[in-house]
A and B are shown apart, each in its own frame.
Chain A
């Protein structure tokens, strides 16, 4: 398939039907580039990038109205990566969509690069400068308020980490989004169960997480974050929810796709070495 033409079509046609097979192939491609990018940099965050691949592929290839040749298009839908350490997955999808040359991924985390170690607005297509957890949902509330003030149909998607939900600001933002009935705002929690040091259940119990969002006035959808039918279905459902914001709690696997990274806290923030990269590429050969 020709993903570039799919992407351009998505800019004009939100909710565009893209076959699950082609999305799966795009996801495999993204995983390979995520690991190549982090290995080339010698540092970065593979675990939480790999867990979010299907979610970002679905957003950028089917759901969002966006135009890689015009990143500042005022009517665009916005994706905000609140867990900004997972920027490799964002940079890779942006490069694949054509926001900047794929070759530029090799400059990640290096001097004079537009691709900073945590997502920053120097990169074409990156909406928010982040790097400290808890900011993104509030930023999304502000962006969604603009849609309400201006009567625009632009929608806002914010991806949060599950460990990030330890931050009190997330819940300040959750309250304000429900209070102002921001139905143009969708939060996606990448529920991969691991944060920087350990499993989320060991660091700080988050459960019942879905009930927490419900009690804050959100429409909650729980899905398997690696199942394209699940993700696409949830995004479609979110489009029809009115008068309240929607959160998609996506159960995912940290390090998804690479056996030795899966569900392993060591790969939250560690680059693969040459041997590990080779092994990973074999597993991701498709």
Chain B
């Protein structure tokens, strides 16, 4: 399977956007080679500002630029672009509803060897708590390009979350990304796996394994966490009766939490959440995924449990009627 680095795609897309739109300004924080915004810096030196590792300043500078009419992209690692300058993002960007696009890289435990301080695994919870923000976790390179383009075209605050390693390319060139709309990756009637980011490909692998056991899974790519596609979640619950979520994030406040809220309000159904439940450690991405329970086998096991739960409920229902 072909792989591509989402952050490289981001860097290249930003250069194209810079050519198309003279109002785009980019801010970096001394991680510009890693976030690949150095490509924009080289192409448009007058519209690029490196603010050093001073992320609080970076976010308020972004607000100042945006309030004067610029479309601002601010990029650093997930941990430095969410939790560290949260107060500046909350008041300066979210409450003021300014046109700032925070695009972070190195999210999740697949950041790997740098260890737990560098693993951004609370960021989705933090960013989805901010009502003005559109929050997107692209699954691969093609989706990253489309999401970044949509963000540039749409007024308002965005948080786009990318990873460090290259990820499998699962979208063709005909893919149409729509903000707030889940993408049906695979159809099946026994359960639905709802995933985002790197876990979408993991979900597809798990679905393949389960198909071999006679369990047919619907797989939804939920790239937009906010606003959430509540209708796709409710339909999945009605039509397949069992839900599994999968994300490279801690348990509280991420995709699983949002899906649970949506199910509770629309169509309660058995749910299993594949998430991290603690901080990880240094190691290579594959080892960490295995040790901390984000492998295809973990998703497949969660589906089996959810399907079993559904069967129990159904049996109980018949017994009591």
Contacts and interface: CB of A to CB of B under 8 A. Distances in A.
Contact of B92 (A135, A146, A149): A135
B110 interface: no
A132 B69 contact: no
A119 to B, nearest CB: 11
A176 B88 CA distance: 16
Contacts of A50: none
Contact of A143 (B46, B65, B96): B65
A176 B61 contact: yes
Contact of A130 (B47, B56, B65, B91): B91
A100 to B, nearest CB: 19
A74 B69 contact: yes
A138 B95 contact: no
Interface residues of B, number: 29
Contacts, number: 100
B46 A149 contact: yes
B163 to A, nearest CB: 28
Given A138-B60, A142-B63, A142-B64, A129 B91 contact: yes
A145 B49 contact: yes
A46 interface: no
B68 interface: yes
Interface in B202-237: none
B314 interface: no
B70 interface: yes
Given A146-B70, A172-B57, A129 B64 contact: no
Contacts of A142: 60-68, 72
B57 A149 contact: no
Nearest to B58: A138
Contacts of A139: 60-61, 63-64, 67, 92
Contacts of B88: 132, 135, 138, 169
Interface in B21-65: 25, 46-47, 49, 51-52, 54, 56-65
B57 A138 contact: yes
B87 interface: yes
A106 B151 CA distance: 40
A238 interface: no
B57 A127 contact: no
Contacts of A168: 56
B67 A172 contact: no
Interface string B221-256: 000000000000000000000000000000000000
Given A132-B91, A135-B91, A146 B68 contact: yes
A14 interface: no
A168 B53 CA distance: 13
B67 A176 contact: no
A173 B57 CA distance: 6
A186 interface: no
Nearest to A142: B64
A226 interface: no
Interface in A118-148: 120-121, 127-132, 134-136, 138-146
B54 A143 contact: no
A57 B70 CA distance: 30
Given A134-B56, A149-B47, 18 more contacts: A120-B95, A128-B64, A128-B96, A129-B96, A131-B91, A132-B88, A136-B60, A138-B63, A139-B64, A140-B64, A141-B64, A142-B72, A145-B61, A145-B64, A146-B68, A168-B56, A169-B54, A172-B52
Interface of A: 74, 120-121, 127-132, 134-136, 138-146, 149, 168-169, 172-173, 175-176, 180
Interface of B: 25, 46-47, 49, 51-52, 54, 56-70, 72, 87-88, 91-92, 95-96
11 contacts: A127-B67, A128-B67, A135-B60, A135-B87, A135-B88, A135-B92, A141-B61, A142-B64, A145-B49, A173-B61, A176-B54
Q: What are the 9 closest A-B residue pairs judged by CB atoms, nearest first?
A: A142-B64, A138-B60, A172-B57, A139-B64, A146-B68, A172-B54, A142-B61, A142-B65, A129-B96
